[in-house]
């Protein structure tokens, strides 16, 4: 096996592992949303939980992770590859200490002054006291999850992807299980706003589980750990020098997400909840394979960039983009066409009504339109980070965030639109950002065969159009199955329509000779021939 084949095999295996655990985590996360929808529907109490969890606790953890990944991980990888293990672990010790010292007072302040914080950030929120109580319960989860980021990134630098993926799936399992257990044993009531505190407890326990699962793995590899705040450490100073552009990008991203919820709470009860349910469904596919690819490819792309292998950088970027487009362009169209039955199947039970389905549909359709861009965004950022450029993607993200806020704000306050315009603002701004990043990256990597790309896009769009027509025909033919139907009938409808679309799409791709399909089928055929043909 060549070096290239070995790297590809390791990347593929790691991506499969992360995708598998990611799928498990997303199923559990989806289960959590089903419980919340069934027990509390779409209203002021769920708005309060979404504001606390998505805008404060989880959002802060995600932004710190995005700050550390492009600044901490490449330096640790470099020290390990140079054989300087002690220096790498000293670096880990200092950064871990900085993270703890920075996050602890921030989390304590949020817990202590929770009511004032909620009132200041979201004056239109109805259940401020409930939101404050949930923040006090779950706030410490932010610190625990941020500390788990340090262990996760360090394990990734050792090409260890299984344990971190398992840790996040465990977090989702604990969150889902805690809600079910606390409600099931009658500790918290269903239907009552007070019952949503069960979810806040689940957030706290899930954050602890995410860290604890990774501790044994990091201890097995750690050679030394000496807490300290040594700012004279050259690796620490190098990391801090990489941070300013990332911080700019993260601040604007935080502002975008904050204004989404602020606009939603100002627009009325249930808007934030509808956006949350729609975004969850749209994010489900992009947070499995694309996330796995972006995590796995980063250490490898970093090595190629350090070797100045521009051809590998170009070839891998084109390959990644084509695979994501082959999967997510037809998926986006199918999700837009089938948005209403998807939402009804997912949530329409208990306190979640058909009116709620209509409201969430207005969010899912524009979110789904942005799927192809969401799928490649995280990965293309890694090419810039590997090249030592944290500025370009983050400044581009800042501009996109401003555009998003302007579109959403104008829609809510000037045109009296809320759910659809806020969701569309994300797809429009992210799409323009991703296109700009591709254009700016062209001169920094090897040559790209433009004719082949144009040919691929044309064939992909034709295959997707054929699939869309087939889905529409089949859906109209069996549409009676979803009229006043239950969950089972809706699942059968989606299975019939979905399988029909997949078969037609793959057949069209085969006729049009789209390489991403023929490459896979050829690989499988070769393996089968090798296994059985030689006998």
Contacts 24+ apart (CB under 8 A), 150-153: 150/68, 150/72, 150/92, 150/95, 150/96, 150/99, 151/211, 151/214, 151/215, 151/217, 151/218, 152/214, 153/68, 153/69, 153/72, 153/73, 153/76
Of the two residues 475 and 406, the one the predictor is more confident about is 406
- Write down the pLDDT at residue 181: 93
Instruction: Read off the pLDDT band of 268 (50, 70, 90).
Output: confident
Backbone angles phi, psi at 398, to 5 degrees: -65, -45
Could you give the CA distance from residue 145 to residue 65 in angstroms, rounded to a whole number? 9
Contact assessment for residue 142 and residue 103, using Cβ atoms and an 8 Å cutoff? yes
pTM: 0.73
Q: Residue 208: count other Cβ atoms within 10 Å of its Cβ.
A: 16
3-state secondary structure 96-155: HHHHHHHHHHHHHHHHHCHHHHHHHHCCCCCCHHHHHHHHHHHCHHHHHHHHHHHHHHHH
Angle between helices 339-347 and 3-40 (to 10 degrees): 70
- Write down the pLDDT at residue 1: 46
Q: What is the DSSP letter of 531?
A: I
- Write down the pLDDT at residue 267: 86
Which segment, 10-14, 86-90, 314-318, is predicted with the most confidence on average?
86-90
- Write down the pLDDT at residue 386: 80
Instruction: Read off the pLDDT band of 291 (50, 70, 90).
Output: low
Domain extent at residue 443: 3-448
Q: Are residues 388 and 362 in the same domain?
A: yes
Could you give the CA distance from residue 493 to residue 341 in angstroms, rounded to a whole number? 9
Could you give the CA distance from residue 419 to residue 364 in angstroms, rounded to a whole number? 9
Q: Are residues 479 and 377 in the same domain?
A: no
Could you give the CA distance from residue 61 to residue 19 in angstroms, rounded to a whole number? 21
Q: Are residues 206 and 326 in the same domain?
A: yes
Q: What is the DSSP letter of 533?
A: I
**pLDDT of 6 higher than 60:** no
Q: What is the DSSP string of 25-83?
A: HHHHHHHHHHHHHHHH-SSHHHHHHHHHIIIIIHHHHHHHHHHHHHHHHHHHHHHHHTT
List the single range of 265-274, 509-518, 524-533 with lowest mean pLDDT: 524-533
- Write down the pLDDT at residue 19: 62
Q: What angle do CA 386, 390, 396 make, to 5 degrees?
A: 120
- Write down the pLDDT at residue 476: 84
**Model confidence over 43-69: pLDDT tens digits?**
888 999 989 998 899 888 988 998 998
Q: Are residues 439 and 465 in the same domain?
A: no
Of the two residues 14 and 422, the one the predictor is more confident about is 422
Instruction: Read off the pLDDT band of 5 (50, 70, 90).
Output: very low
Buried b / exposed e along 101-134 (16+ C-beta atoms within 10 A)? eebeeebeebbeebeebbeebbebbbbbebbbbb
Instruction: Read off the pLDDT band of 318 (50, 70, 90).
Output: confident
**Model confidence over 100-119: pLDDT tens digits?**
999 999 999 999 999 999 99
- Write down the pLDDT at residue 212: 96
Q: Are residues 163 and 273 in the same domain?
A: yes
Residue-averaged pLDDT of the chain: 85
- Write down the pLDDT at residue 480: 60
Instruction: Read off the pLDDT band of 94 (50, 70, 90).
Output: very high
Q: Are residues 321 and 397 in the same domain?
A: yes
Q: Are residues 205 and 229 in the same domain?
A: yes
**Model confidence over 149-206: pLDDT tens digits?**
999 999 988 878 888 888 988 999 999 999 999 998 889 988 788 999 999 999 999 9
**pLDDT of 528 higher than 50:** no
Where are the alpha helices (H) located in 185-309, listed in sequence order? 197-221, 234-267, 271-286, 289-306
Contacts of 358 (CB under 8 A, 6+ apart): 340
Contact assessment for residue 127 and residue 47, using Cβ atoms and an 8 Å cutoff? yes
Q: Are residues 224 and 325 in the same domain?
A: yes
**pLDDT of 534 higher than 50:** no
**Model confidence over 414-452: pLDDT tens digits?**
888 788 999 999 999 999 999 999 999 888 887 778 888
**pLDDT of 127 higher than 80:** yes
CA 220 and chain centroid, separation: 29
Of the two residues 406 and 303, the one the predictor is more confident about is 406
On the 0-12 / 13-18 / 19+ scale of CB atoms within 10 A, 41 is buried
Instruction: Read off the pLDDT band of 485 (50, 70, 90).
Output: low
Q: Are residues 284 and 191 in the same domain?
A: yes
- Write down the pLDDT at residue 361: 94
Q: What is the DSSP string of 72-92?
A: HHHHHHHHHHTT-HHHHHHHH
On the 0-12 / 13-18 / 19+ scale of CB atoms within 10 A, 355 is exposed
- Write down the pLDDT at residue 312: 81
Final residue of a structural domain among 448, 477, 503: 448
Mean pLDDT of 31-43: 84
Contacts 24+ apart (CB under 8 A), 305-311: 305/383, 305/386, 305/387, 305/388, 306/78, 310/444, 310/445, 310/446, 311/446, 311/447
- Write down the pLDDT at residue 157: 84
Q: Are residues 339 and 425 in the same domain?
A: yes
Could you give the CA distance from residue 441 to residue 310 in angstroms, rounded to a whole number? 11
Mean pLDDT of 486-515: 87
**pLDDT of 230 higher than 50:** yes
- Write down the pLDDT at residue 213: 95
Q: What is the DSSP string of 303-364?
A: HHHHTT-HHHHHHHHHHHHHHHHHHHHHHHHHHHHTHHHHHHHHH-STT--HHHHHHHHHHH
Q: What is the DSSP letter of 221?
A: H
Final residue of a structural domain among 426, 448, 470: 448
Tally of domains within the chain: 2
Q: Are residues 323 and 372 in the same domain?
A: yes
- Write down the pLDDT at residue 522: 55
CA-derived radius of gyration, the chain: 24
List the single range of 22-26, 29-33, 289-293 with lowest mean pLDDT: 289-293
**Model confidence over 241-255: pLDDT tens digits?**
988 888 988 899 889
Q: What is the DSSP letter of 192?
A: S
**pLDDT of 221 higher than 80:** yes
Could you give the CA distance from residue 433 to residue 521 in angstroms, rounded to a whole number? 34
Residue 13 structure tokens: 């295996």
**Model confidence over 353-393: pLDDT tens digits?**
888 899 999 999 999 999 999 988 878 888 888 887 888 99
Angle between helices 128-138 and 85-112 (to 10 degrees): 150
Report the percentage of the chain scoring pLDDT > 90: 41
Report the percentage of the chain scoring pLDDT > 70: 88
Could you give the CA distance from residue 434 to residue 377 in angstroms, rounded to a whole number? 6
Q: Are residues 374 and 473 in the same domain?
A: no
- Write down the pLDDT at residue 18: 61
Instruction: Read off the pLDDT band of 147 (50, 70, 90).
Output: very high
Final residue of a structural domain among 448, 479, 505: 448
């Amino acid at each position: 096996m060549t070096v290239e084949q070995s790297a590809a095999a390791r990347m593929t295996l790691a991506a499969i592992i992360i995708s598998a655990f990611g799928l498990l985590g997303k199923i559990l996360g989806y289960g959590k949303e089903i419980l919340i929808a069934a027990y509390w529907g779409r209203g002021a109490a769920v708005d309060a939980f979404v504001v606390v969890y998505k805008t404060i606790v989880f959002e802060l953890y995600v932004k710190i992770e995005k700050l550390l990944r492009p600044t901490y991980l490449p330096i640790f990888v470099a020290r390990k590859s140079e054989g300087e293990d002690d220096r790498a672990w000293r670096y880990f010790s200092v950064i871990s200490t900085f993270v703890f010292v920075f996050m602890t007072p921030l989390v304590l302040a949020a817990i202590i002054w929770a009511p004032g914080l909620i009132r200041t950030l979201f004056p239109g929120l109805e259940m401020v006291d409930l939101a404050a109580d949930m923040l006090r319960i779950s706030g410490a989860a932010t610190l625990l999850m941020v500390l788990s980021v340090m262990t996760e990134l360090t394990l990734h630098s050792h090409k260890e992807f299984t344990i971190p993926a398992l840790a996040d799936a465990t977090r989702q399992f604990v969150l889902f299980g805690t809600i079910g257990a606390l409600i099931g044993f009658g500790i918290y009531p269903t239907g009552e706003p007070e019952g949503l505190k069960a979810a806040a407890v689940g957030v706290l326990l899930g954050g602890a589980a995410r860290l604890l699962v990774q501790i044994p793995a990091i201890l097995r590899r750690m050679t030394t750990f000496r807490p300290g705040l040594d700012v004279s450490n050259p690796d620490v100073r190098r990391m801090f020098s990489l941070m300013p552009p990332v911080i700019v990008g993260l601040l604007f991203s935080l502002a975008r997400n904050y204004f989404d919820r602020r606009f939603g709470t100002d627009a009325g009860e249930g808007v934030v909840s509808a956006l949350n349910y729609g975004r969850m469904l749209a994010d489900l596919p992009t947070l499995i394979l694309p996330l796995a690819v972006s995590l796995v490819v980063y250490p490898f792309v970093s090595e190629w960039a350090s070797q100045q292998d521009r051809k590998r950088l170009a070839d891998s970027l084109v390959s990644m983009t084509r695979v994501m487009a082959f999967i997510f362009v037809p998926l986006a169209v199918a999700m837009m066409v089938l948005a209403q039955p998807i939402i009804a199947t997912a949530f329409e039970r208990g306190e979640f009504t058909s009116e709620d389905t209509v409201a969430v549909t207005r969010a899912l359709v524009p979110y789904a339109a942005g799927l192809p861009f969401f799928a490649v965004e995280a990965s293309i950022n890694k090419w810039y980070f590997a090249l030592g450029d944290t500025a370009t993607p983050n400044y581009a993200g800042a501009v996109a965030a401003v555009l998003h806020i302007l579109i959403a704000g104008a829609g809510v306050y000037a045109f009296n639109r809320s759910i659809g315009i806020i969701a569309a603002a994300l797809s429009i701004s992210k799409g323009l950002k991703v296109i700009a990043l591709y254009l700016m990256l062209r001169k920094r990597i090897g040559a790209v065969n433009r004719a082949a790309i144009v040919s691929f896009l044309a064939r992909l769009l034709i295959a997707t159009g054929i699939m869309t027509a087939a889905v529409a025909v089949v859906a109209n033919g069996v549409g009676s199955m979803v009229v006043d139907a239950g969950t089972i009938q809706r699942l059968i409808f989606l299975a019939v329509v979905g399988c029909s679309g997949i078969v037609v799409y793959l057949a069209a791709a085969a006729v049009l000779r789209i390489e991403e399909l023929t490459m896979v089928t050829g690989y499988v055929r070769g393996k089968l021939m090798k296994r059985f043909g030689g006998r």
